[in-house]
């Protein structure tokens, strides 16, 4: 076989044969890896003939034989259509989303088919005789912080904003505490924290992902490895919000005396016991569901089910199927299920649904309650004065064995995992077990699967953080079972995705943040900025050589923060706690000892101290390298002075905590996604140190809130 045919097919499919390592080294993908990924993309390449046939299929997909289901464009700009000879000289009609129409005629040059500029964004329709397509016409940029502030000013929430900058807090939802929570945070606690943060001047509250998990397997609790990004985590429902506190107390009593004792014990623990707390939460919710159904007041629930349509039905069916198979000791991974159960619309799944109708309705009920709870938290944030409110987190993918992969098989690639090549922080690379959209299937489906996911993330938030935003232009895909370094980059339709994000951002009045840390292609940050997606700049990485950048040198097109969930806290970083952790687990760079890493950290901290003193954020002698002595206040003051429109302070740094929420490269070696905050939500911001740190942010970025 001639590998040149393979390489030509890979290039046509958007697979990059060459890539650059974090150290700047030129790397090349092996032919075997290219073959595996192309096969997963349903492009057979086992022979020269197969390569040619697959290449021809791709060319046909991209050819202009028919209008694609959706085209994107920008408002006030002509829309260039792909070259489609059959449209040349033909009449067309545009039906505008909000009424009205426009009739026109294409020119005779098939290579230069133009539609006139659209004055209004929206989803319009283009009709050419029997053909039709959707025209997604987007604003030039996403809804921004300044837009949110202006809206808040008009509504009377903000006073006149002389300084167009806000600040907010970042929290891991599972970490929140409140009395009576049974050891597991809920949307009610989130609403209370949002109110408390708003009262102290916060304009936003960023939260960890709340995507739907596996209710029958609560051992799988990483918020970045969800079952579906279309629905919500039912484990965070506040049971008291379903039918009231009295009904909850009765449900707890019905579970027996050991249930209340278990809840009390779990509530006191420093780490979330997901299996115990999650299992108990689900048992309570089932009791409350049974009581709710018995009451017969189902109108609002029935409306929710009708609005959820096939997507909600399929998710609930998957949850019930998954639970039934695990209960019988069978494999929960849907790709190993009997063939008839792998098809969400198949006869066997329909038969199962008829036999388990109440179980499926229970999972629909859970989604209804989760949506009510998260929506109430966003409402509480806004009513308390936040111009933005909640910022949700959109994970880069969903578990290959989950609900979304099962129900969206045409759009999500099988046999590959989203990951990352080796870099300084993750020397072995990463493969996350998450499925990715096929860019070819996305286009063929009119981006419907992508849009439903976007809308789910925007639904109950004033902002969305897109994890691994590099995935808008390329994703590192690793064949199942292969080493993370044996992957390849697959290209995605960046401009189409940016336009859809901008359009949905304005429709939902929500800002967009793109997690752009790590190695990104040259010019990518500029592209994001032009589209109004805010990047992220982390204090410990804002350096030029060994010199820490003065805050005034930070960009205006990214949020500023002290750290992230994957990085050490300020106190932990100052004390070198992460160095000890990574050293003990063999996660340091190859050839670097723990002593080397500590020496390097010492140089970094001295450079940071010089920068803090240079701006007046700190003064005097450099404190010792201990968590207790860490200059957290000075770091917050330094970061807050950046021109970033939004400064986000993780609550771990507000509290001066040492431990980070997640240590990349570990599973059981570190208590990832389990640490709980030391105080309940209504007290956690009251401490002297926390109050002092929030006052720093309010002093530099605060806006007087009008009562009401």
Per-residue pLDDT tens digits for 199-240: 999 999 999 999 999 999 999 999 999 999 999 999 999 999
- Domains in the chain, number: 3
- Rounded to an integer, what distance in angstroms lies between the CA atom of residue 670 and that of residue 664? 9
Whether 361 is in a domain gets the answer no
Beta bridge partners of 478: 417
The mean pLDDT of the chain is: 95
Domain match, 80 and 44 both: no
> What are the tens digits of pLDDT across the range 94-152?
999 999 999 999 999 988 999 999 999 999 999 999 999 999 999 999 999 999 999 99
Residues 8 and 98 in one domain: no
pLDDT of residue 708: 34
> What does the pLDDT average to over 357-378?
99
Last residue of a domain, one of 106, 138, 170: 138
Q: Are residues 52 and 128 in the same domain?
A: no
Answer yes or no: is 342 within a domain: no
Tell me the chain's radius of gyration from C-alpha atoms.
26
Tokens encoding 587: 């996660």
Q: Specify whether 118 is located in the same domain as 28.
A: no
Confidence (pLDDT) at 520: 84
Both 617 and 701 in a single domain? Answer: yes
User: For the packed helices 594-614 and 632-640, what is the interaxial angle rounded to 10 degrees?
Assistant: 60
- With tokens 């390592």, the residue in question is 21
Examine the domain organization and report whether 619 and 701 are in the same domain.
Answer: yes
Asked if residue 401 has pLDDT above 60, the reply is: yes
Burial label for 511, CB within 10 Å (0-12, 13-18, 19+), is: buried
Q: Are residues 587 and 673 in the same domain?
A: yes
Same domain, 48 and 83: no
CA distance 201 to 705: 8
Is 147 domain-assigned? Answer: no
Q: What are phi and psi of 630, to 5 degrees?
A: -60, 135
Q: How crowded is residue 682: how many other Cβ atoms within 10 Å of its Cβ?
A: 15
Domain that holds residue 562: 547-708
Q: Is position 265 within any domain?
A: no
Closest-CA residue to 16 (of 40, 42, 34):
34
Domain end, chosen from 138, 171, 188, is at: 138
pLDDT of 160: 57
DSSP label of 685? T
By DSSP bridging, strand 26-28 and strand 166-171 are: unpaired
Q: What share of the chain is helix, strand, coil (3-state, %, to 5)?
A: 45, 15, 40
**What percentage of the chain exceeds 90 in pLDDT?**
89
566 and 688 belong to one structural domain: yes
Q: At what angle do helices 3-13 and 31-40 cross, to 10 degrees?
A: 50
For residues 561 and 684, state if they share a domain: yes
Which of 416, 449, 448, 451 is closest to 431 using CA atoms? 416
- pLDDT for 503 equals 99
Residue 495 lies in a domain: no
Does residue 679 sit in the same domain as residue 627? yes
**Tell me, what CATH number does 118's domain have?**
2.60.40
| pLDDT at residue 599 greater than cutoff 70 | yes
Four-residue CA torsion sign, 68, 70, 73, 78: positive
pTM: 0.96
The reply to whether 11 and 131 lie within a common domain is no
Please tell me the distance from the alpha carbon of residue 661 to that of residue 566, in angstroms, as a whole number: 7
Residue 91, domain member (yes or no): yes
Q: Which of 94, 123, 138 is the last residue of a domain?
A: 138
Block residue for tokens 């006869």: 347
In a domain, 664, yes or no: yes
Domain-embedded: residue 355: no
């Amino acid at each position: 076989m001639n590998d040149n045919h393979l390489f030509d097919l890979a290039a046509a499919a958007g697979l990059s044969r060459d890539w650059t390592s974090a150290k700047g080294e030129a790397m090349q993908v092996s032919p075997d890896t290219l073959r595996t990924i192309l096969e997963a993309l349903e492009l057979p390449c086992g022979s020269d003939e197969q390569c040619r046939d697959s290449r021809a299929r791709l060319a046909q997909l991209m050819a202009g034989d028919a209008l694609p289901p959706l085209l994107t464009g920008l408002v006030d700009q002509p829309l260039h259509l792909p070259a489609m000879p059959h449209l040349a000289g033909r009449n067309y009609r545009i039906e505008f989303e909000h009424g009205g129409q426009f009739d026109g005629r294409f020119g005779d040059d098939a290579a230069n088919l133009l539609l006139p500029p659209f004055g209004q964004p929206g989803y319009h329709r283009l009709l050419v005789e029997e053909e039709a397509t959707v025209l997604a016409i987007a604003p030039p940029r996403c809804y921004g912080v300044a837009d949110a502030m202006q809206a808040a000013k008009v509504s009377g929430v903000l006073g006149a904003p002389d300084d167009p900058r806000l600040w907010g807090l970042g929290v891991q939802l599972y970490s929140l505490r409140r009395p009576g929570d049974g050891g597991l945070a809920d949307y009610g606690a989130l609403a209370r924290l949002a109110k408390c943060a708003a009262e102290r001047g916060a304009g936003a509250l960023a939260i960890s992902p709340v995507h739907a998990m596996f209710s029958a397997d609560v051992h799988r609790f990483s918020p970045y490895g969800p079952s579906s990004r279309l629905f919500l985590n039912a484990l965070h429902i506040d049971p008291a919000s379903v039918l009231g506190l009295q009904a909850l107390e009765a449900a707890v009593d019905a579970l027996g005396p050991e249930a209340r004792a278990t809840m009390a014990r779990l509530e006191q623990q420093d780490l979330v016991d997901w299996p115990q707390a999650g299992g108990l939460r689900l048992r309570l919710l089932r009791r409350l569901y049974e009581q709710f159904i018995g009451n017969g007041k189902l109108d609002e629930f029935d409306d929710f089910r009708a609005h959820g349509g096939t997507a909600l039905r399929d998710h609930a069916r998957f949850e019930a199927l998954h639970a039934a198979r695990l209960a019988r000791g069978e494999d929960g991974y849907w790709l190993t299920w009997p063939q008839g159960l792998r098809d969400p619309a198949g006869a066997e799944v329909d038969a199962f649904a008829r036999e388990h109708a109440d179980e499926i309705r229970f999972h629909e009920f859970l989604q209804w309650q989760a949506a009510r709870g998260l929506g109430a938290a966003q409402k509480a944030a806004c009513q308390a004065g936040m111009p933005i409110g909640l910022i949700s987190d959109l994970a880069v993918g969903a578990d290959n064995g989950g609900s979304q992969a099962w129900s969206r098989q045409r759009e999500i690639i099988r046999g590959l995992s989203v990951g990352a090549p080796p870099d300084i922080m993750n020397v072995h690379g990463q493969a996350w077990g998450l499925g990715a959209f096929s860019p070819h299937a996305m286009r063929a489906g009119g981006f419907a699967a992508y849009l439903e996911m976007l809308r789910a993330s925007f639904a109950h938030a004033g902002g969305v953080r897109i994890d691994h935003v590099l995935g808008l232009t390329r994703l590192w895909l690793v064949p199942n079972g292969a080493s993370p370094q044996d992957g390849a980059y697959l290209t995605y339709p960046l401009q189409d995705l940016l336009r859809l994000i901008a359009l949905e951002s304005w429709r939902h009045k929500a800002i967009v943040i793109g997690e752009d840390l790590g190695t990104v292609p040259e010019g990518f940050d500029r592209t994001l900025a032009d589209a109004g997606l805010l990047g992220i700049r982390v204090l410990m990485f804002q350096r030029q050589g060994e010199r820490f950048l003065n805050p005034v040198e930070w960009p205006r097109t990214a949020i500023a923060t002290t750290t992230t969930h994957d990085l050490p806290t300020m106190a932990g970083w100052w004390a070198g706690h992460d160095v000890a952790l990574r050293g003990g687990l063999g996660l340091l760079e190859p050839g670097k000892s723990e002593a080397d890493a500590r020496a390097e950290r010492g140089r970094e901290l001295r450079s940071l101290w010089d920068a803090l003193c240079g701006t007046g954020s700190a003064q005097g002698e450099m404190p010792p390298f201990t968590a207790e002595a860490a200059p957290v206040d000075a770091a917050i003051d330094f970061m807050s002075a950046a021109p970033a429109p939004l400064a986000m302070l993780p609550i771990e740094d507000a509290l001066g905590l040492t431990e980070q929420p997640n240590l990349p490269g570990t599973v059981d070696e570190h208590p990832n996604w389990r640490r709980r905050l030391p105080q309940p939500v209504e007290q956690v911001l009251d401490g002297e140190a926390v109050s002092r740190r929030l006052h720093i942010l309010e002093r530099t970025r605060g806006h007087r809130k009008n009562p009401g």
